[in-house]
Chains A and B, each alone.
Chain A
Amino acid sequence: IDTVRVVVVGAGVIGFSTAVCVAEALPFCSVTVLAEKFSPDTTSDGAAGILFAAQFPDISVERQRRWFKDSFDHLRAIAQSQQSPEAGVMMSSGYQIFKDVPADPKPYWSDLVIGFRLMTDRELERFPGYKFGQAFTTVKCECSSYLPWLEKRFRKAGGKVQQRKVSSLHDLSDSYDLIINCSGLGSRTLTDDPQVYPVRGQVLKVEAPWLQHFIRDGDGKTYIYPGIHGVTVGGTRQEDDWRLEVDDGDTRSILERCSRLEPSLSRARVLSKWVGLRPGRRNPRLERELVQPRGRKVPVVHNYGHGGWGVTLAWGSALDALGLVRQCLHEMPPQAKL
């Protein structure tokens, strides 16, 4: 059987997760990751990486649950193994607090994380102004370590890596038999998808090694995520904002909001500041299409637009994408492989 030449565009958490899934499951494929940016310069690198489920309007709850569960179980196994420190994956317990009782006090993912329960009144006393809270244990996946770890795994499975900016998927149709598009925000130009737009996020990394719990405001704008080498505090959610520069006003706002939730933060030293553009989209695009750039039909599997949930959904999406890849290969006419 001839080798099927697969290319994955994008080397963020979606790209590498998908590349590893394909390379490990389909040994007759030669897989190449092609990207302009690699860790530590991807959007994934700045993300705190706390696994927290999303809710997309047009995707079935079953499918979203499956994405979350697959990702959670995969990362949890790493967190509880000897690989934990090298992979940058650890368990993290904490709180999500709400100023008003949410419509859905027990969300669909509550049985997928560990030990989910409502916060007691005594626990809420620490957060004046907050009436409701959830406590649970989840996983934290730090891409600055996880991406190199995935790359190692990818190369071990025979994968190849190439640094290159891809301006059009059509350019790849000569060299590859199947394209997997994990270009995140880049898909806006790469596939002419106006539905994907930036949601600017600024975070700070502070030194506060005494903090052991994550704290997240249910509105998603204020959060404190203790990690392996620092605490990520944030954030912002600025739609259609393309600025990659640090905004001093945002810095002040983040420190002020987070210190209100966790007073000890006012004694924390700021180690670094970072800005990332989440690939926002109403729903992630996880589907296949057939492009025919120059007479030859080339299947494309799209896996992008995960917004602020890339790390959370990466492995589950990758497995889903692998399923789509299998379908493409199944339907591939024999002569296409020549």
Chain B
Amino acid sequence: MRVAVIGAGVIGLSTAQSIYEQYHSIVSPLTIEVYADRFTPLTTSDGAAGFWQPYLYDKGNVQETEWNKETFDYLLSFLSSPESVKMGIFLQSGYNVCTEPAPDPTFKDIVLGFRQLTERELQLFPGYTYGWFNTALMVEGKTYLPWLMDWLQKRGVMFYHRKIESFKELAESGADVIINCSGIRSGELQPDPELTPGRGQIIKVDAPWLKHWILTHNFKQGVYNSPYIIPGSRLVTVGGVFQIGNWSEQNNSTDHKHIWEEACKLEPSLKHARIVEDWSGLRPVRSKVRLERETIQCGPSSVEVIHNYGHGGFGLTIHRGCAQEAARLFGQIVQQKGKGPKSRL
């Protein structure tokens, strides 16, 4: 069976991994190929801070909360091994602060040591009157993606540096199943009015004395449009903006100035931090993640497509849960095509 994955960000690579893990001994032969025009370190996943945290509230989307939890627990399990360093996984604690009291976030039981902020702690954040402290995970794209690629390459997955123009193209070349992990550009393969860019811009600075992440929440301004500071293993990511509908991947100096000023108000010591670089990326925003099967007609034949895109600003946060679900959908296809173990009776 030939599986073609479109997209080599965290979603594409982790889905390829889940499918391999679950089916390489069941389906024989199983050829997995990854097609992308951008590989690490040039994907959206690479630019992201690598901080595990969903949006504060899942708004009833319990499925996404479960996938987030699955991802957290999966990443956490690697901490007992030195392999975690090669994967870019580590723990970091920090603060979510709000301008007004707010209900506890949906992820409170997923993270470690979740608690309310004390009065003394809130004094650190003038202008913010409420918030929470917890320990979460970091999974840095620039380390995690190469680790995933290495994992896949060792198991015979092939990579092709090529932009796929249509599902038909892959179907005609013999792909049995296409996994569409093309993120923000999924619309080019199949129009999706629900998919829109949530442009983000960040500044990477050298400030090794910072060991906590700080995310501010201003409910009037909306998610990620309020300053955040997320220390990484080498540099600190300072943001942010969340500009719906803005397709520009160029760094904008007005955004830079705004982000920097707001962040320095939040963390005065940043004034002495050396600015290393700016980066802009397009979060693949959608009302909800598109994770479903579709049978696409290509002339006389049809090809099975599994869509796995639209993870907004929480791709790294949710990737494993979605990858496992995509693999489950793949399993359905395997059964239907009679390629599963029972079919050999």
On A, residues with C-beta under 8 Å from B are 80-86, 88, 90-93, 114-115, 117, 119-120, 122-123, 126, 135, 137, 209-213, 226, 228-229, 263-267
Contacts and interface: CB of A to CB of B under 8 A. Distances in A.
A123 B124 CA distance: 26
A115 B212 CA distance: 14
B82 interface: yes
B272 A82 contact: yes
B113 interface: yes
Interface string B68-99: 00000000000111101110101111000000
B85 A90 contact: no
Given A210-B90, A264-B90, A115 B84 contact: no
Interface in B116-150: 117-118, 120-121, 124, 133, 135, 138
B138 to A, nearest CB: 8
Contact of B207 (A85, A115, A229, A266): A85
15 contacts: A81-B268, A90-B210, A91-B211, A92-B211, A93-B211, A114-B120, A115-B117, A210-B138, A211-B90, A212-B93, A229-B208, A264-B85, A264-B90, A265-B82, A267-B85
B271 interface: yes
Given A84-B209, A117-B113, A123-B113, A213 B272 contact: no
A119 B135 CA distance: 11
B115 A80 contact: no
A135 B113 contact: yes
A151 B279 CA distance: 40
Contact of A120 (B82, B113, B272): B113
A85 B209 contact: yes
Nearest to B116: A115
Given A115-B121, A115-B133, A211-B90, 18 more contacts: A80-B124, A80-B268, A84-B209, A86-B272, A91-B211, A91-B212, A92-B211, A93-B211, A114-B121, A210-B138, A212-B212, A213-B91, A213-B93, A229-B208, A263-B79, A263-B82, A264-B82, A264-B85
A42 to B, nearest CB: 21
Interface of A is mostly: mixed
B82 A212 contact: no
B1 to A, nearest CB: 38
Interface string B286-303: 000000000000000000
Given A123-B135, A209-B233, A82 B112 contact: no
Contacts of A266: 82
Of the four ranges (under 10, 10 to 19, 20 to 34, 35 or more), the interface on chain B belongs to 35 or more
B248 interface: no
Contacts of B208: 209, 228-229
Given A123-B112, A123-B135, A82 B82 contact: no
A229 B271 CA distance: 19
Contacts of A213: 91-93, 135, 211
B183 interface: no
Interface in B260-282: 268-269, 271-273
Contacts of A228: 208-209
Nearest to B112: A123
B231 interface: yes
Given A85-B209, A126-B79, A228-B209, A115 B115 contact: yes
A83 B221 CA distance: 31
B234 interface: yes
Contacts of A211: 90
Contact of B211 (A117, A212, A264): A212
A264 B135 CA distance: 18
A82 B79 contact: no
Given A80-B268, A117-B113, A120-B113, A212 B90 contact: yes
A212 B91 contact: yes
